[in-house]
Amino acid sequence: MARYRTYIDSPASAEDVFAYLADFQTVAEWDPGVRSARLIHGEPAAVGARYFVVAGFLGRGIPLEYEVVHSAPPTDRTEGRVELEAHTSDFRSYDVITVAPTEGGCRVTYDADLALKGFRRPFDPLLALSFRVIGNRARHGLATALASAPVA
């Protein structure tokens, strides 16, 4: 299993950042590893919403269908949390985004788990190495996007 976890502080409100990130089609705006993303079912950020995402990996596009399996917006005192899951015949991706209010805006925690399936499982350590590079690029893009208040 490959895991990438990062924290990013933003001057924007937790409510605005949550609305921006929980609508997962915005991933194409800040993650350079994502070629495209669009909502294909349901309401943005709502449980059951599905997003068609094309991720770039080793020069090819990998189609993924992410589903929101949990979504709870932040309040003045509690963090917001959205959980998304995607499955292919090759791997499972599970992403958890939390947005906690702070004195100066909010703190985003992005926690992603990627696990290979079947006969590919022994290659998880190699995947973990490349996932770190991919995650660092996504973190940089997200930090840039959240440096100012995103439009919800």
* Residue 87 covered by a domain: yes
> Tell me, what CATH number does 88's domain have?
3.30.530.20
Q: What is the pLDDT of residues 94-139, one digit of tens each?
A: 999 999 999 989 999 999 887 766 665 555 555 545 656 666 788 8
* Residue 46 covered by a domain: yes
* Residue 68 covered by a domain: yes
* Residue 152 covered by a domain: no
Name the domain count of the chain: 1
* Residue 105 covered by a domain: yes
- Owning domain of residue 97: 2-146
Q: Distance between CA atoms of 55 and 66, rounded to whole angstroms?
A: 12
Q: What is the pLDDT of residues 60-91, one digit of tens each?
A: 788 999 999 999 999 988 999 999 999 987 77
* Residue 151 covered by a domain: no
* Residue 142 covered by a domain: yes
